[in-house]
Amino acid sequence: MNHVLRDLGIQAVNSGGSTGHQWWSLQGDRPIVQSLNPATGETIAGVSPCSPEDYERILKDSMEAFRAWRAVPAPKRGEVVRLIGQALREKKDQLGTLVSLEVGKIKAEGDGEVQEMIDMADFSVGQSRMLYGATMQSERPAHRMSEQWHPLGPIGVISAFNFPVAVWAWNAFLAAIAGDTVIWKPSPKAPLCAIAVQKICNQVMQQQGFAGIFSLFITDEPTLAEQMVQDHRLPLISFTGSVPVGRRVASAVGQRLGRTLLELSGNNAVIVDETADLDMAVRAIVFGAVGTAGQRCTTTRRLFVHESLYDQLVAKLIKAYAQVRIGNPLDPTTLMGPLIDQAAVHGYVAAIEEVKKEGGEVLYGGQALTRTGHFVEPTIVRAQNHWPIVQRETFGPILYVMTFRTLEDAIAMQNNAPQGLSSALFSNDVRRTGQFLSASGSDCGIANVNIGTSGAEIGGAFGGEKETGGGREAGSDAWKAYMRRQTTTVNWGTELPLAQGIKFGE
């Protein structure tokens, strides 16, 4: 463990604040934030959190850096991001290991997260030459109309524990090529991952003469996080996390008429119809429901199976679940690591109790494990869609199974949930897949056919509808969220005609 931290430039007790210029030691008396290994419960390191004065200093530095950064040509900004992507390639193994250590993801998923950052850097480099605006036909003679995109300013990024590095990269690289500076408030459950990323960035930025573009603001105090959210000097707050906290953030930013980009909870479903390739469906469902111990926003939480296939599919799932090795996330044979903390284990246990009271039948698992660390069994429960517990996101590996007769019914049940992130249909019937993808089909931000609900590529815009918050990040035209659109009209003639043909004082 120590060599990983050393390779990433982290000392055992570190400062929580960085403006990208330097690290400083905090003298304050704020309690140290403990970084804990969820597989063992042991402390990995202590991190000194920021004070309100630190926040003010970080913000001022970020504003100053913005004034210079916005004037740097976008392709040059892309070049800096390219170099950060390169530095991440060099540290992929160590950073992937740190993700596993600090949040309990298996090593393959920890590495995958860093790969996602690298992919995002590559994508952003290309995008830096494609910040396109449209041209329009003016109704007035000798006039030209067009739109252009300008940077927004310093933006705030608040991230969840379960994607401790990739979510930052989705936001930060696009924001950087757009000309914004970024202040990151990571989850206090994953401060070391954030420090490691900041250190990698600092090194590249200092070498390139652009210190201060990315900054880190570590706190575990909601009131300090709220100070950031309420700060009108941050035109955009990108928030990834749960619905209750997202609601507070949206309302606080809305009060000051700022912008939000919200990536909140999911309650994702897979539908398996009677023509589906069952083996493919089983693999996708197990990865979606058990991967990351059910702690992904896109985790498969509900399964709607055609009634004729219920027995067969459940039998195959139980067989597959029995082969899932639970344990140390750094062991290459492990498929499922721990939950993030004991509160998450309590949430899992409470959900199982509630669904049983409703009449749910536990088909597999259902127990917290009594070993060291925060381990639980992957669980399958026969349930009903309208039960309150099924309508909520429990952040753990619980899969609720339900049956249907017609695809219309399955789609209606899938859409009958407050959240709208990811959805999937397994079918080999072209008409049914068309129906699922039509305007009267899935109401989610992501709709997949013969692919599970989790594991999105960065090339598409990522995000969800309804309580998931409506934000879109990563690919497609998500870059627009980090810029302001300006419509410009130039009169190159000698008359001053008014729009709508209005005559004024003539």
**Size of the chain in residues:** 506
Distance CA 463, CA 289 (A): 19
Task: Decide if residue 95 touches ligand NAD (CB under 6 A).
Answer: no
Q: 216 with 48: CB under 8 angstroms?
A: no
| Residue 335 to residues 31, 128, 304, 377, 452, Cα–Cα distance (Å) | 35, 38, 24, 12, 17
C-beta neighbour count of 149 within 10 angstroms: 18
Q: In 3D, which of 274, 294, 277 has the Cα closest to residue 400?
A: 294
| Residue 501 to residues 124, 140, 141, 145, 495, Cα–Cα distance (Å) | 43, 9, 11, 17, 13
For residue 423 the two structure tokens come to 């959805």
Task: Decide if residue 245 touches ligand NAD (CB under 6 A).
Answer: yes
Binds ligand NAD by CB under 6 A, chosen from 116, 119, 231, 263: 263
Could you confirm whether 297 is annotated as catalytic?
yes
Q: In 3D, which of 241, 254, 187, 183 has the Cα closest to residue 215?
A: 183
Task: Decide if residue 172 touches ligand NAD (CB under 6 A).
Answer: no
Binds ligand NAD by CB under 6 A, chosen from 51, 260, 265, 442: 265
Task: Decide if residue 222 touches ligand NAD (CB under 6 A).
Answer: yes
**CB of residue 185 vs ligand NAD: minimum separation in angstroms?**
6
Could you confirm whether 201 is annotated as catalytic?
no
Task: Choose between 245 and 314: whose C-beta lies nearer to ligand NAD.
Answer: 245
List b or e across 58-97, with b for residues whose CB sees 16 or more CB atoms inside 10 angstroms.
Answer: bbebbbebbeebbeeebeebbebbbbbbebbeebbebbbb
Task: Decide if residue 163 touches ligand NAD (CB under 6 A).
Answer: yes
Binds ligand NAD by CB under 6 A, chosen from 103, 393, 453, 474: 393
Binds ligand NAD by CB under 6 A, chosen from 188, 191, 327, 420: 188
Task: Decide if residue 83 touches ligand NAD (CB under 6 A).
Answer: no
Binds ligand NAD by CB under 6 A, chosen from 37, 94, 240, 442: 240
Distance CA 45, CA 33 (A): 9
Distance CA 274, CA 309 (A): 7
The single residue of 297, 377, 393, 467 carrying the catalytic annotation is 297
**CB of residue 422 vs ligand NAD: minimum separation in angstroms?**
9
Binds ligand NAD by CB under 6 A, chosen from 26, 101, 158, 320: 158
Task: Decide if residue 395 touches ligand NAD (CB under 6 A).
Answer: yes
Q: In 3D, which of 505, 446, 135 has the Cα closest to residue 299?
A: 446
Task: Choose between 205 and 243: whose C-beta lies nearer to ligand NAD.
Answer: 243
| Residue 498 to residues 124, 137, 481, 492, Cα–Cα distance (Å) | 41, 15, 32, 14
Within 13 Å, how many C-alpha atoms sit on residue 140's CB side? 18
Report which residue's Cβ sits closest to ligand NAD. 241
How are beta strands 361-364 and 419-420 bridged, if at all?
A: unpaired
Task: Choose between 189 and 306: whose C-beta lies nearer to ligand NAD.
Answer: 189
The single residue of 263, 377, 393, 473 carrying the catalytic annotation is 263
Task: Decide if residue 446 touches ligand NAD (CB under 6 A).
Answer: no
Task: Decide if residue 106 touches ligand NAD (CB under 6 A).
Answer: no
Q: 3-class secondary structure for 329-387? A: CCCCCCCECCCCCHHHHHHHHHHHHHHHHHCCEEEECCCECCCCCCCECCEEEECCCCC
Task: Choose between 242 and 415: whose C-beta lies nearer to ligand NAD.
Answer: 242
Task: Decide if residue 379 touches ligand NAD (CB under 6 A).
Answer: no
Binds ligand NAD by CB under 6 A, chosen from 161, 364, 404, 426: 161
Binds ligand NAD by CB under 6 A, chosen from 37, 62, 100, 187: 187
Task: Decide if residue 248 touches ligand NAD (CB under 6 A).
Answer: yes
Task: Decide if residue 478 touches ligand NAD (CB under 6 A).
Answer: no
Residues that bind ligand NAD (CB under 6 A): 158-163, 185, 187-188, 222, 225-226, 229, 240-242, 245, 248-249, 263-266, 297, 393, 395, 421, 468
Q: Which residues are catalytic?
A: 263, 297
